[in-house]
């Protein structure tokens, strides 16, 4: 009888703790993804040059629906400068994961063949993502005709990126 009770207890423990052990979060990974966004746009004309500022809101969708970053909301604050025929941009990003945790990053890039090409670096995060490191490349494409005047819409492709937790 004691053997059967020990067997039943062992089975109960395996069944109830197995999923917890299996759900342990990965400590590193990659995020091939697309961010779709919309933003207001402020422009300060400076003759033939211009300064741009924007506050974009969007959604990040990963190539794999099982990725931790999938279906995150994204906020991007940025500033661009069109000067002597060249465009440069820098900004910061805040990703809010479906779990509510946040990840922060900065980026810097320039216009190449009509699209922004930039590098980004993770600078930190909240809760389980505190201390996140890594980064990658992104390419941004704006739609040619925005939905309303003074706005911009488009998408960003994240490529060749990786992240790691301490």
| DSSP run (H or E) holding 162 | strand 151-164
pLDDT, residue 25, reads 81
Is residue 99 one of the residues assigned to a domain?
yes
Burial letters 147-163, b for 16+ CB under 10 A, else e: eeeeebbbbbebeebeb
Is residue 157 one of the residues assigned to a domain?
yes
Instruction: List the helix and strand counts (H, then E) for the chain.
Output: 1, 9
Is residue 86 one of the residues assigned to a domain?
yes
pLDDT, residue 22, reads 46
**For the chain, what is the domain count?**
1
- Supply the CATH number for residue 50's domain: 2.40.350.10
Is residue 120 one of the residues assigned to a domain?
yes
Is residue 58 one of the residues assigned to a domain?
yes
pLDDT, residue 24, reads 77
Is residue 15 one of the residues assigned to a domain?
no
Is residue 88 one of the residues assigned to a domain?
yes
How confident is the chain (166 residues) per 10-residue block, as mean pLDDT? 51 47 77 96 97 97 93 98 97 97 98 94 97 97 94 94 94
Which domain range does residue 122 map to? 25-164
Is residue 112 one of the residues assigned to a domain?
yes
pLDDT, residue 160, reads 86
């Amino acid at each position: 009888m004691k053997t059967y009770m020990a067997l039943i207890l062992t089975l109960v423990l395996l069944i109830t703790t197995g999923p917890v052990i299996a759900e342990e979060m990965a400590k590193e990974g990659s995020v091939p993804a697309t961010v779709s966004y919309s933003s207001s746009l402020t422009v300060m004309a400076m003759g033939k040059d211009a300064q741009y500022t924007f506050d974009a809101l969007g959604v990040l969708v990963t190539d794999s629906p099982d990725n931790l970053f999938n279906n995150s909301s994204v906020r991007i604050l940025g500033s661009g400068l069109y000067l002597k025929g060249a465009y440069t941009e820098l900004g910061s990003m805040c990703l809010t994961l479906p779990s509510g945790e946040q990840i922060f990053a900065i980026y810097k890039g320039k216009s190449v063949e009509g699209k922004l090409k930039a590098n980004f670096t993770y600078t930190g995060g909240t809760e389980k993502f505190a201390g996140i490191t890594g980064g990658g490349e992104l390419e941004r494409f704006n739609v040619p005709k925005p939905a309303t005047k003074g706005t911009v819409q488009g998408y960003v492709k994240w490529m060749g990126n990786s992240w790691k937790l301490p």
